[in-house]
Structure 1
């Protein structure tokens, strides 16, 4: 899609680079000539991303990182600067959630999603800005969020978190414009990734496609193209924006809720979980399963 030397010499940090949209972004940035630093919590998928980039003639390194840990974030940013001298683009892709009706979400589950998506994004953004981009006189930060924006039934915790990140992005685009830092949020619709097939209960994936006017899933390559475009000089005047890539999903709206079969699947999973816990207690302690 792009000239092979479009990002030559650029240093791009991508969190959550081991799978899904993070991997797609890392691969396309590397195809454009960038040196990619892929970060994530799991070593094996990161290694696979690096291997794919190197097989294509690109350059990449993998660094294990939990973005919720402030000390670890600072150590990774310091290492990137020690090795490469600068950071031109940060892609805050790491995040996560689980689809569940709001009445089933525990305080700990809600807190975990906010810490990962909001706190983690803030820690990476602040460290990269203060340690790299402000001293070097500029840079780009791309924060991944979700579409649709006007409510996302079944993902109330993630909806709250992503709205916070978008507001953070807009606020910082004003505060840090004087340093030459440009920040944008990229709202992803439904893409054909492994997570879509494996992390959600039956019925959610099938229902989601009925809400995409384009009538298909997005491809991970399309996501990588958007990220690379914004990281390139063509994206230099973008700042403070929320760019939505979703096949008109956001315009369509939330639709009716819940999807067919969702509540039944959740109850079955809850029963199975309780039975599993009872089995473990029986085996380890001899407590009667009843």
Structure 2
């Protein structure tokens, strides 16, 4: 669960005061953790996601620690909606200092069972959605400001992710896009970095994957534990702060050495049985 303390353990008070930070997918998990830590640093946090209720809860949590936040339901795959959202933020606040492209998603499934539509949906959310947000914020705000930071959330490990081939392809695309744009837009003072998340203690591990995935993941982390949401928030806030001004074109991996371990076999025990049981359960509903 996200730490609810009202004082940051790593940021100087008001280091982000006056900054406008947009966080997509901020209704739960790592997106909420990032939004909270940015608010602790004094930023005005604009949250967006598809579901309104979790966003409202995030805003309420930020306000309870003395921060300032707004929520806007948004499907980042809808170009018209994204442009309208960015226009609204600029109309109210005049600028956008940091964009955290956290919204994304996938589902664990053997490659041979993924349908064309399932593959397409994961790419649309993780690649197209990230591009639409990035392009709109850059062209409407940051290029004119000659300043800004864009943080694109991806995944670790990078040496292949069996059971998540669609997400592996999508996140690799986002990382290459990040590196390319860091060169193209450096002349506008825009810094772009990708943040590759390993396994964190969020509700997603318990609710979005079949039984056994969480237990198997832990065996592949040399540090012997999952990351905490607070640790993720620290990384995002650090890069949004002046300490992150010289970072650009990088992929920063936070995963307890998972990325360089590369051990284990596929599939983990019981994986296909769990998939079959989950599919059977859906068929009976």
Partner residue of 2:278 out of 257, 269, 273 = 269
Q: Which has the larger radius of gyration?
A: 1
TM-score, normalization by structure 2: 0.96
Whether contact under 8 Å (1:92, 1:121) holds in the other structure is: yes
Shift of 1:273: 3.0
State the partner residue of 2:25: 16
Cα deviation, residue 192, structure 1: 0.2
1:271 Cα deviation after fit: 2.6
Q: CA deviation at 1:272?
A: 2.9
* Counterpart residue number, 1:231: 240
Distance (whole Å) between structure 1 residues aligned to residue 271 and residue 222 of structure 2: 22
Q: How is 1:81-160 mapped onto 2 (pairs within 5 angstroms)? A: 81-160=90-169
Match of 1:27? 36
1:143-222 correspondence runs (5 A): 143-222=152-231
**C-alpha distance after superposition, 1:32-56 (max 9, x if no partner):** 0000000001110000000000000
The question of 1:45 aligning with 2:54 is answered: yes
* Total equivalences in the alignment: 276
CA positional deviation for 1:132: 0.1
Partners of 1:15 and 1:91 within 8 A in 2: yes
Deviations 1:138-181 (A, max 9, x none): 10000000000010001000000000000000000000000000
Task: State the Cα distance separating 1:79 from its structure 2 match.
Answer: 0.4
TM-superposition CA deviations, 1:231-270 (whole Å, max 9, x none) = 0000000000000000000011152100111001111222
Aligned-partner SS, 1:144: strand
- d(CA) in 1 for partners of 2:232, 2:183: 26
Q: Structure 1 regions of 5+ residues with no counterpart?
A: 277-290
Equivalence for 2:4: none
> How far 1:121 moved relative to its partner?
0.1
* Kept after mapping to 2: 8 A contact 1:150/1:254: no
The partner residue of 1:257 within 244, 266, 269 is 266
SS at match of 1:14: strand
Partner-residue secondary structure (3-state), 2:224? coil
Partner of 2:5: none
**Matches of 1:59 and 1:205 in 2, distance apart?**
34
Q: Provide the rounded CA distance (Å) in 2 between the counterparts of 1:238 and 1:247.
A: 21
Cα RMSD of the aligned pairs, angstroms, is 0.8
On the 8 A contact 1:148/1:254 being kept in 2, the answer is no
Name stretches of at least 5 consecutive residues in structure 2 with no aligned partner.
1-9
Name which of 240, 243, 247 aligns with 2:252.
243
1:34–1:59 CA contact under 8 A, matched in 2:
yes
